[in-house]
Amino acid sequence: MLAAAGVLAGCSTGANAVDVNNGGEFRFVAGTPAGEVIPEDQRAAAPEFSGTLLGGDDFDSGQLAGNVAVLNFWGSWCAPCRVETPEFSEVAEETADDGVQFLGINVKETSEQFAVAFVDRFAISFPSLYDPRGEVALAFRDYPANAIPSTIVLDPQYRVAAVYTGEVAQDDLRQVLDRVLEEG
């Protein structure tokens, strides 16, 4: 029971919030039910963003348009991320030929080398933005991506199709991706 409470608490600390450098905060809101997809006529456009990938390349969110995209907000300091992110890497490899792109968004790291070590240790196959101040997560705050881990699935029209707060099981993610892929 205590382990379940720890998972439900996500990666927040203190009074369910973790301060970030720019004054925003990350907090656990509530776990999202499995397989919840926003109806197509109720989807809103995702905010545009850009940044630097781990390793130094520039990234612009326009690169995701036309594909189903999975944005995974994670941190090396987050225990559920250590389970979820490697599982997402498997799903990313399985779905790449279907037009699914994965992008990690690493938040609230004190050093980029911690994020790089996490990616190397778990052999993560998809790229990740380095977002130590949580600026991209704050751009998605209406969904809310300020809970870590959070996952947002975008449809090919760059609209938010599904939002998860907390850890997502591989099978649940696959079901949502199948549904969104079938829409196209």
> What is the rounded distance in angstroms from the CA atom of residue 101 to the CA atom of residue 29?
26
User: Per mean pLDDT, which range of 28-32, 47-51, 70-74, 92-96 is the poorest?
Assistant: 28-32
Higher pLDDT, 33 or 122: 122
For 92, counting Cβ atoms within 10 Å of its Cβ (0-12 exposed, 13-18 middle, 19+ buried), the class is buried
Hey, what domains does the chain have and what are their CATH numbers?
Answer: 2-10+25-183 (3.40.30.10)
Q: How far, CA to CA in Å, does 11 sit from each of 90, 120, 147?
A: 22, 21, 8
The predicted model scores a pTM of 0.82
| Residue 15, pLDDT score | 35
Percent of the chain residues past pLDDT 70, beyond the cut: 79
